[in-house]
Structure 1
Amino acid sequence: MSVNWIWSSYAILSGAHGLLAILFVSLLGCDQPEEWPPLFGNITQAYSLRRFWGIFWHKLHTKPYDSFMSPLLSLRAFLMFFLSAICHALSNRAVHKKTHIVSEMHFFLLNYVLCLTETVGEWTTGHTLKLDWRLRRAVGYTWVLFVFICLVPGWRYPLVLDAVYSSPRQAV
């Protein structure tokens, strides 16, 4: 579960994006190929939590959310994570009839805090800590995996439990 959400979201969103690109570019001729860039970045670049969210993960939310923010706003990243939590809660409400706002806020805002911690840590040790790039990436991938192993169950389990308890039970 800790990484399944990544791959299932990646597959579903990329698959739908690819099919729609074929439809609008090749079949209907409404769009140009450059109007359909890939949704996700390169997974090999996700060797920190900041790089996971900022480089690898899809950017479906950034343009709509940018309209709520001043370009000079120093809390842009916080607002991105906050608005992501709100939108995920609203999606949960539409699909599952419950928002799970607490678990959404917990997951997304803790990710923000951890990204901020990475930034501060890199800023304070980046000039003195010289690691081989392979070691830096290995430590980074392990860190990202550790964070998701710790945070994702608390984020996703409420939805799983709802699905289990709301499914019709068969008499034996």
Structure 2
Amino acid sequence: MDLNSPSAWSILLTQWLLVQLLTGLTIAFSQPYSKVRPAVTVLVIALAYSFQTQVHQTLAETRARGPLAAMCWVNVLNAIDLLMSSRVSFDEQIAWMTKCGQSKTADSSYWRRLVWSIEMAFNYRRINTPWQIRAVPAFDRHDPGFVPDKVKFLRQCALRVCGSLFVVHFCTLDLRDAHLAGILSEISDSKKVLLPTWGEWTARRAILQMLFTISFGLLTRAAILGTYSLLAMFFVAVGAYEPVDWPPVFGNVSDMYSLTRVWGIAWHQILRKLVTSNADILLYDFLRLPHGIVARSLRLIMAFATSGLVHFFTDQGFGLSLNQSGALWFFCLQVPGIALENLVWWTCRGMINRMGFRWRRAIGYVWVSLFFLWVTPVWMNPIILRLYQDGQKVPFLMFGCLFS
């Protein structure tokens, strides 16, 4: 199909937007247990399937197909939570705002209901609603109730955008770099990178892989932080929202001393509600499992497996197949990592509690660093090599050239 054809893009755009529009309108104009909701849920899933089929045919040769398909299924997960799990409704939102003393802003007009329906469809963390996730970072961790004024907020956003652009520039190598080919020859896109033989490793290879991993993490964080800050700056600047509606997207880096805290506090929580609520529906509503260690373990597995699938769809945008992508490996390996953490805590709790605060933190940071240095290459290396093949910049700390 011709990519320049208006009909090709109009069909895709209509299907993608309908997923969000149907979800938002249903939660805004129906009761929490209305029989309309299951029907809309089925319709949304059908639309997403149709969209994925169309996007693979229409955009088969473009990078957009992966991220578009990934976000479409993210929106399906979001719809299932809004419609069937959290049972979100506009009336409950108004009641909550009135209870919290926001009666002046608790506008229940038809127009406000329409605007709210669109906002909620994209409010993945449920900010300023009764369904807000617990792990939304505060503007000031020492003063959780603090909200910056508009000028200070815009200044902070501008600094974050500039900082993110600096990281993107600093942590990438251009194809014209004379050392790039030699550097890339040291990394492998094989799954064996998880269990390499001792003879395969040299000090140079280990250092280069470490630099790739660090730069990949910095770039990923910078891309998310920069995009979020740019959107926040725009919407607050034009007066559409207040700073309180755009809390930080990431927690504090100092909290990254365990895998549980990395994924539960420090990293962005955009997908948290979506993946956990859908796991809850399957495990507790359909399978009727009791709340115990088995259900919690299955919930953890499902959450990370779902995240892996979402990121696999994104990897398709780089031209990677299911066999080539390491997204599922990376996210599913978080489960045994967290299980090991819990086992160590359960068996060595007394000794850990007797340690000094700084020692506990230091050991935690070392553990988290080593774990991610081990698991990240299986996801990162195929992406980097594909970027190089396609003539794109690749993630790498600039001072890494010293090792070439």
TM range (shorter): 0.7 to 0.9
Q: Which of 330, 341, 344 lines up with 1:118 in the alignment?
A: 341
Q: Which digits, 9 at most, give the CA deviation of each residue in 1:38-91, with x for residues without a partner?
A: 111000011112211111111111122234132755233222211111011001
What is the TM-score of this pair, normalised by structure 2?
A: 0.39
Question: Of 314, 319, 334, which aligns to 1:97?
Answer: 319
Decide which structure has the larger Cα Rg and report it.
2
1:15-46 per-residue CA deviation (whole Å, 9 max, x = no partner) reads 1111111211221x222322211111000011
Query: Following TM superposition, by how much is the alpha carbon of 1:165 offset from its aligned partner in structure 2, in angstroms?
Result: 2.8
Q: Does the 8 Å CA contact 1:100/1:158 hold for their aligned counterparts?
A: no
User: Is 1:79 matched up with 2:302?
Assistant: yes
- Compute the displacement of 1:147 (Å): 0.9
1:15 aligns with 2:226: yes
Determine if contact 1:91/1:99 at 8 Å carries over to the other structure: no
In the other structure, the counterpart of 2:385 is 161
> Does the alignment pair 1:137 with 2:137?
no
2:251 to 6, 27, 41: 41
Distance 1:76 1:32, change over 3 A: farther
- Contact 1:90–1:99, Cα closer than 8 Å, also in 2: no
Larger RCO (alpha carbons 8 Å, 6+ apart): 1
Give distance in 1, aligned partners of 2:251 and 2:364.
17
| CA–CA separation in structure 1 for the residues paired with 2:321 and 2:362 | 36
Deviation at 1:166, TM superposition (A): 3.5
Matched, 1:2 2:213: yes
Q: What runs of 5+ residues in structure 1 fail to find an aligned partner?
A: none
Amino acid at match of 1:119: N
Q: TM-score, normalised by structure 1?
A: 0.86
- Number of paired residues? 166
Identity of paired residues, percent? 30
- Show the counterpart of 1:149: 373
In the alignment, the residues of structure 1 paired with residue 320 and residue 231 of structure 2 have an alpha-carbon distance, to the nearest angstrom, of 30
1:128 deviates by: 3.8
Question: Which stretch of the first structure deviates more once superposed, 110-119 or 126-135?
Answer: 126-135
Match of 1:59 in 2: 269
Relative to structure 1, the CA distance from residue 161 to residue 109 in structure 2 (aligned partners, 3 Å threshold; closer, same or farther) is same
Counterpart residue identity of residue 118, structure 1: E
Please give the alpha-carbon distance, in whole angstroms, between the structure 1 residues aligned to 2:252 and 2:367: 18
> Offset of 1:103 from its aligned partner?
1.5
Q: Does the CA-based 8 Å contact 2:275-2:306 persist in structure 1? A: yes
Give the letter aligned to residue 152 of structure 1. T
- In 1, Cα distance between the equivalents of 2:321 and 2:266? 26
Distance in 1 separating the partners of 2:273 and 2:242: 19
The corresponding residue for 2:330 is 107
The farther-off stretch of 14-23 and 98-107 is 98-107
How far, CA to CA, are the matches of 1:136 and 1:11 in structure 2?
A: 28
**In the TM superposition, what is the alpha-carbon distance from 1:105 to its structure 2 partner?**
1.6
**Structure 2 gap segments, 5+ residues each:** 1-211, 285-290, 393-404
Aligned 8 A contact 2:319 2:386 in 1: no
RMSD: 2.0
